[in-house]
């Protein structure tokens, strides 16, 4: 993959590695295009993908709100964006977190169980909630099916209403059912969610219902230039689906990865190159304790070499061996510390600079930073 020129030149001039470089200019353009495609469909950003404060501020003009999944995220988002609309979801919310949500004026709580509903009603008589539905829809091709403990099946949804929650409190339903779906698959899933939700909500007299279709829009790490087809998705939602919606109904989505993945770069330098039992390795400063994404997703993190002597493949590996491929590893003492396995590389020598792309979501913030006590990367925001 290629880094945009402003990212590449900034990264080459860094005097310390590793570093995270966030391309806020690119992020704003990307978010603006998504916002424009979506029209009246509300867009919330799922902060757990990357809660970096500058990223939140960059996205703020283009999103209708932020979805948070813990009291920590909630406090951070409220501090960073005092006026943002916030939706608070996630299983296992504590009483303290629910109280914080009420204190900080969260607009919607996504209720995950009848017991949580009852606990919320002990704190306030009139919460503003969406009930999180766990629907038995197959999402073929999903990277992750969000079934299991998330949300409620129909009997549990009705048990929430039996807790005495006032009719005006239930504003609609929330369904985040899968992640990693492309636009046609996402649309098919949306059709099924809406097809279930509209009559279910009407039968329970929920007026002007909100239907939150969740996030999970695909990001293809094998093809960084293939973006989720937002215009097609939006056309499907607005054309095909909205006809079946009752008066005043509102659709909302809450993607994380597909918003921020593309505009983060993990930049580091080569410490060593060697060939062991015929396999070529490039040993980089840092590793998967800074960018766990390739391990959790089981992929090769896409990268570009920003320096290097150009021509030929693998001649930097010494011992007369010429190989076009190498495995890019970090400094950790574990064979799992692999950023990209057996991938084509140009000639690399110690000191060369490598930039891993698609590191703007589920990268730094999901990594085990303290393992081996290496220095943490510096963080830079390009505007």
Ligand X SMILES: *Cc1c(COP(=O)(O)O)cnc(C)c1O
Tell me how far, at minimum, the Cβ of 107 lies from ligand X, in Å. 15
With vertex at residue 69, the alpha carbon angle to CA 68 and CA 75, rounded to the nearest 5 degrees, is 60
Q: Is 280 in contact with 321 (CB distance < 8 Å)?
A: yes
Q: Which residues between 59 and 78 bind ligand X (CB under 6 A)?
A: 67, 69
First to last CA, the chain: 21
Tell me how far, at minimum, the Cβ of 343 lies from ligand X, in Å. 25
- Token pair, residue 365, equals 């913030």
Q: Name the one range near ligand X by CB under 6 A: 30-38, 96-104, 255-263, 315-323.
A: 255-263
Residue 179 lies near ligand X (rule: CB under 6 A):
yes
Which CB atom, from 257 or from 263, has the smaller least distance to ligand X?
A: 257
ω before 329 within 30° of 0 (cis)? no
Answer for which of 52, 97, 116, 254 binds ligand X (CB under 6 A) is: 254
Closest listed residue to residue 293, CA positions, set 256, 223, 340, 335: 340
Which CB atom, from 109 or from 332, has the smaller least distance to ligand X?
A: 109
Residue 134 lies near ligand X (rule: CB under 6 A):
no
CB atoms within 10 A of CB 262: 21
Which residues, 6+ apart, have CB-to-CB distance to 332 below 8 Å?
Answer: 287, 288, 289, 371, 372
Residue 89 lies near ligand X (rule: CB under 6 A):
yes
Answer for which of 176, 252, 285, 290 binds ligand X (CB under 6 A) is: 176
Closest listed residue to residue 299, CA positions, set 216, 228, 219, 181: 219
Which CB atom, from 241 or from 258, has the smaller least distance to ligand X?
A: 258
Q: Name the one range near ligand X by CB under 6 A: 118-126, 256-264, 305-313, 351-359.
A: 256-264
Helix 154-161 to helix 114-123 angle (10° resolution) is 20
Which CB atom, from 110 or from 380, has the smaller least distance to ligand X?
A: 110
Residue 116 lies near ligand X (rule: CB under 6 A):
no
Answer for which of 34, 41, 47, 49 binds ligand X (CB under 6 A) is: 49
Binding string, residues 185-224; x marks residues near ligand X by CB under 6 A: -----------------------------xxxx-------
Instruction: List Cα–Cα distances, 15 to 4, 11, 331, 353, 378, in angstroms.
Output: 19, 9, 19, 11, 10
Closest listed residue to residue 363, CA positions, set 2, 19, 50: 50
Q: Name the one range near ligand X by CB under 6 A: 99-107, 123-131, 250-258, 368-376.
A: 250-258
- Token pair, residue 160, equals 């929430």
Tell me how far, at minimum, the Cβ of 118 lies from ligand X, in Å. 21
Q: Is 126 exposed, middle or buried (0-12, 13-18, 19+ CB in 10 A)?
A: exposed
Which CB atom, from 8 or from 47, has the smaller least distance to ligand X?
A: 47
Which CB atom, from 51 or from 215, has the smaller least distance to ligand X?
A: 215
Binding string, residues 326-355; x marks residues near ligand X by CB under 6 A: ------------------------------
Residue 256 lies near ligand X (rule: CB under 6 A):
yes
Tell me how far, at minimum, the Cβ of 68 lies from ligand X, in Å. 10
Q: Is 159 exposed, middle or buried (0-12, 13-18, 19+ CB in 10 A)?
A: middle
Residue 287 lies near ligand X (rule: CB under 6 A):
no
Binding string, residues 292-331; x marks residues near ligand X by CB under 6 A: ----------------------------------------
71 HSE (CA, 13 A, CB side): 12
| Active-site residue set | 333
Tell me how far, at minimum, the Cβ of 140 lies from ligand X, in Å. 17
Q: Is 292 in contact with 367 (CB distance < 8 Å)?
A: yes
Instruction: List Cα–Cα distances, 16 to 6, 168, 291, 305, in angstroms.
Output: 18, 55, 17, 16
Residue 151 lies near ligand X (rule: CB under 6 A):
no
- Binding residues for ligand X (CB under 6 A): 46, 48-49, 67, 69, 89, 176, 179, 214-217, 254-258
């Amino acid at each position: 993959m290629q880094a945009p020129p402003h990212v590449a030149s900034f990264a080459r001039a860094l005097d310390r590695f590793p570093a995270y470089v966030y391309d806020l200019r690119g992020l704003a353009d990307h978010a603006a295009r998504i916002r424009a495609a979506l029209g009246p469909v509300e867009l919330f950003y799922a902060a757990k993908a990357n809660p970096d404060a500058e990223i939140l501020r960059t996205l703020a003009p283009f999103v209708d709100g932020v979805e948070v999944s813990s009291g920590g995220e909630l406090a951070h988002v409220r501090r960073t964006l005092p006026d943002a609309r916030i939706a608070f979801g996630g299983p296992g919310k504590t009483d303290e977190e629910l109280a914080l949500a009420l204190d900080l004026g969260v607009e919607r709580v996504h209720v995950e169980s009848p017991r949580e509903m009852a606990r919320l009603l002990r704190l306030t008589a009139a919460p503003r909630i969406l009930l999180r539905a766990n629907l038995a829809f197959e999402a073929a091709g999903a990277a992750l099916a969000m079934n299991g403990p998330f949300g409620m099946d129909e009997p549990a949804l009705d048990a929430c209403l039996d807790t005495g929650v006032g009719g005006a409190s239930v504003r609609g339903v929330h369904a985040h059912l899968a992640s990693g779906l492309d636009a046609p698959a996402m649309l098919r899933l949306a059709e099924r969610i809406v097809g279930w939700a509209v009559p279910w909500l009407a039968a329970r007299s929920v007026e002007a219902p909100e239907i939150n279709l969740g996030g999970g829009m695909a990001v293809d790490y094998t093809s960084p230039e293939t973006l989720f087809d937002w215009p097609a998705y939006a056309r499907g939602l607005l054309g095909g689906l909205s006809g079946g919606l009752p008066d005043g109904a509102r659709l909302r989505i809450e993607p994380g990865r597909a918003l921020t993945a593309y505009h983060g770069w993990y930049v580091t330098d080569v410490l060593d190159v060697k060939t062991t039992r015929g396999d070529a390795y490039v040993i980089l400063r840092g590793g998967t304790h800074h960018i766990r994404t390739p391990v959790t997703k089981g992929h090769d993190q896409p990268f570009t070499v920003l320096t290097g002597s150009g021509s030929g493949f693998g001649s930097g590996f010494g011992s007369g061996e010429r190989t076009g491929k190498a495995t890019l590893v970090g400094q950790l003492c574990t064979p799992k510390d692999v950023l990209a396995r057996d991938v084509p590389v140009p000639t690399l020598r110690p000191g060369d600079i490598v930039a891993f792309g698609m590191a703007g979501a589920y990268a730094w913030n999901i990594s085990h930073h303290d393992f081996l006590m290496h220095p943490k990367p510096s963080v830079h925001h390009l505007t």
